[in-house]
């Protein structure tokens, strides 16, 4: 287990702490939960940077990083919907997108020589936009701004999905030619 993978696991372990704080009776619970998310976001940036810079890229890390991202996304979206911060349709759209990505990833991994599609610029931009929208919501920006940012998040996630779908189909076509 290398440093980058430990950071990814830390991000996963931060999510129950986020939920405990988010649903607590603390006076500024949303701000404190947001601080935990920012810490999770920092681990997200650091794990990839460290893995690439110090040649610590592993199959485990390549598979674990998107799982960690999905856990973070679902935890935040579900908590935000339950607190009426965002409408449920955002959770549904992004949830369906993530479910399809998980299925596609499982197909490639288990039926494609343990192949994993690594994160690319589209996914990273979508993830960054998600954190920006979440921070705006946590900082209690006006609903118009928060909703606009989440609409952008949905659009960017759908663009990333189409990109991953394109990569997935080309890998499947290449495997069927062999």
Domain with residue 31: its CATH number is 1.20.120.1760
Q: Which domain holds residue 44?
A: 3-177
Handedness of CA 44, 50, 53, 56 (dihedral sign): negative
Helix (H, G, I), strand (E, B) or coil at 108: helix
Under a CB-based contact definition with an 8 Å cutoff, are residues 77 and 93 in contact? no
CB 18 within 8 A of CB 37: yes
Count the alpha carbons within 13 Å of 24 in the hemisphere toward its beta carbon. 15
Domain total in the chain: 1
CB atoms inside a 10 Å sphere around CB 139: 12
Is the pLDDT reported for residue 160 higher than 90? Answer: yes
pLDDT > 70 fraction of the chain, expressed in percent and rounded: 96
- pTM comes to 0.86
Structure tokens at 17: 């702490």
Q: What local confidence, expressed as pLDDT, does residue 70 receive?
A: 87
pLDDT 10s digits, 39-81: 999 998 899 899 989 998 888 887 788 889 889 999 999 999 9
pLDDT over 80 at 117, yes or no: no
Closest Cα to residue 51, out of 88, 115, 86, 2?
2
> Is the confidence at residue 113, as pLDDT, over 80?
no
Compute the distance between CA of residue 88 and CA of residue 74 in angstroms, rounded to an integer: 12
């Amino acid at each position: 287990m290398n440093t980058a993978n430990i950071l990814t696991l830390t991000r996963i372990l931060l999510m129950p702490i986020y939920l405990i704080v988010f649903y607590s009776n603390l006076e500024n619970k949303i701000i404190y939960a947001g601080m935990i998310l920012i810490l999770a976001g920092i681990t997200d940036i650091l794990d990839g940077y460290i893995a690439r810079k110090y040649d610590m890229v592993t199959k485990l890390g390549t598979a674990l990083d998107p799982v960690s991202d999905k856990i973070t996304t679902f935890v935040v979206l579900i908590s935000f919907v339950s607190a009426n911060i965002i409408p449920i349709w955002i959770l549904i759209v992004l949830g369906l997108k993530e479910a399809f990505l998980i299925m596609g990833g499982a197909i490639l991994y288990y039926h494609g020589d343990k192949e994993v599609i690594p994160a690319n610029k589209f996914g990273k931009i979508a993830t960054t936009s998600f954190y920006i929208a979440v921070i705006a919501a946590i900082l209690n920006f006006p609903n118009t701004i928060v909703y606009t940012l989440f609409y952008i998040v949905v659009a960017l996630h759908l663009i990333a999905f189409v990109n991953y779908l394109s990569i997935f189909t080309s890998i499947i076509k290449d495997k069927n030619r062999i």
